[in-house]
Amino acid sequence: MNQLRRLAMGELEAAVMGVLWDTGHWQTAGEVHDRISPVHPVAYTTVMTILVRLWQKGRLERRRSGRAFSYQPVMTRDEDAARRMGEVLAGLADRSGVLNHFVETLPDHDRAELRRLLSARRRPR
């Protein structure tokens, strides 16, 4: 029997957020479900639950759209990734060691970009 792999909650949340970021405008649960179900076959109610949970976590804003709600992210994809990176760092005892290892494992072009960004922040505005 060919069974579909169940997605973990974090993966579903990431897929839903991806749909919202990719469309770039307010989406109802039905619209998100229509976009996500060809890739991740999940029930409409599951998508609705994920949207409500993301809204409760403060990652989405919502507004009434007829009888339903429409949702959109409160942050861009980049801002959200930076927030998550900050949360990981905040929970670590040896932040310097982790940052050092992170920088050491970056490809050269990313390390050069990081140097450029840090240098630009040091300049007076």
| Domain residue ranges in the chain | 9-73, 77-122
- Rounded to an integer, the average pLDDT of 30-42 is 93
- Over residues 13-34, the pLDDT tens digits come to 999 999 999 999 999 999 999 9
Residue 3 has pLDDT above 90, yes or no: no
Q: What percent of the chain has pLDDT over 90?
A: 65
pLDDT digits (tens, 9 = 90+) for 54-67: 999 999 999 998 99
**pLDDT class of 2 with cuts at 50, 70, 90:** very low
Per-residue model confidence as pLDDT tens digits over 98-110? 899 999 999 999 9
Q: How far is CA 68 from CA 9, 29, 31, 71, 88, in A?
A: 23, 8, 11, 10, 35
Pick the CATH number of 9-73 from 1.10.10.10, 2.40.50.140, 3.30.70.270, 3.90.180.10: 1.10.10.10
Whether the per-residue pLDDT at 8 is higher than 90: the answer is no
Q: Could you tell me the pTM of the whole model?
A: 0.77
